[in-house]
Amino acid sequence: MSAGAERVAQAGTVLEFDRVDLSFDVKVLDQVSFRVEPGETRVILGAAGSGKSVLLKAAIGLLRVDAGRVVLMGQDITRLEEKDLVAVRANVGVLFQEGGLFDSLTVGDNVAYPLENQQVRGAVPAEEVQRRVTEALRFVELEQTMDQYPAELSGGMRRRVGIARAVVTEPPLVLYDSPTAGLDPITANTIMALIAKERDAKGAASIIVTHRYQDGQIMADFRYNSERGGLIPAAADPSSAPRTIFMVMREGRIVFEGDKASLEASRDAYVRNFVRR
């Protein structure tokens, strides 16, 4: 477990939504409640427009909720001021939809960005930044792209840089917004393998929002084995399998919450249709 993950394991629940409502012109989150415990993997399945990205933004206070409560790392952030939010947010790594890299910065500077701009835990010395950026890029097997610009990379490589940037501070919670959207199936599986590897190497809690059921299957059924340097079926060693909970969102409401077996056994027509895709 990373130092960050350990700190939070002691602190309790990583994220809690308590009857959260959020509207633009229409209601986008409708009485959303759930809790994420340390080290847990949470897979949120939902069709386009069901409110997945809005949920993640509300989780870190980028969007304010209209009713209910959001508690992040034990802190009620529902009405927290921006300057205090910045400190709480430093505990969260985010892979934004489409990667969200800065086009004008090199790959190395993109990955360094959270270290240099979330210095609430104290300034990180330059050589330490360099060391951690290199390590994060090595983790996603892109060390050689350090001095390139995002535009020079393929879509899958950009997504991997986004993962390196999300985890470079070793946060106890990592949010992945549609990590496989727009990628071919083989690249998508590579990305999911990296996300599972990160989870199993660091013990951080992860929230993955996606419309692809296979993404959730990888998280639930595989774990990273460092000796083999790849994923192995979690069933080979059930005691070490991380807890994976699924939620299904439909038009801003959570219509299912439970483990993979109960998801696959669901008789709800909407849920069933989703799992079969």
Ligand X SMILES: Nc1ncnc2c1ncn2[C@@H]1O[C@H](COP(=O)(O)OP(=O)(O)O)[C@@H](O)[C@H]1O
Least CB distance to ligand X at residue 177 (A): 7
Least CB distance to ligand X at residue 277 (A): 15
Amino acid at 254: I
CB contact set of 187 (below 8 Å; sequence gap of 6+): 155, 156, 159, 180
- As a whole number of angstroms, the distance between CA 214 and CA 46 comes to 13
- Give the footprint of ligand X on residues 5-64 (CB under 6 A): 24, 28, 46, 48-54
**# of chain residues touching ligand X (CB under 6 A):** 10
Q: Across-strand partners of 176?
A: 95, 208
29 binds, among Mg ion, ligand X, none (CB under 5 to 8 A by kind): none
Least CB distance to ligand X at residue 206 (A): 17
Helix (H, G, I), strand (E, B) or coil at 118: coil
Least CB distance to ligand X at residue 50 (A): 4
50 binds, among Mg ion, ligand X, none (CB under 5 to 8 A by kind): ligand X
Site for Mg ion contains 53 (CB under 5 A): yes
**# of chain residues touching Mg ion (CB under 5 A):** 2
CB 208 within 8 A of CB 195: yes
- As a whole number of angstroms, the distance between CA 188 and CA 165 comes to 18
Is 218 buried (19+), middle (13-18) or exposed (0-12) by CB count in 10 A?
buried
Q: Which is nearer to ligand X, 196 or 209 (CB)?
A: 209
Helix (H, G, I), strand (E, B) or coil at 205: strand
* Among 26-34, 52-60, 77-85, 118-126, the segment contacting Mg ion (CB under 5 A): 52-60
169 binds, among Mg ion, ligand X, none (CB under 5 to 8 A by kind): none
Q: Across-strand partners of 204?
A: none
User: Contact residues for ligand X (CB under 6 A)?
Assistant: 24, 28, 46, 48-54
**Where do contacts with Mg ion occur on this chain (CB under 5 A)?**
52-53
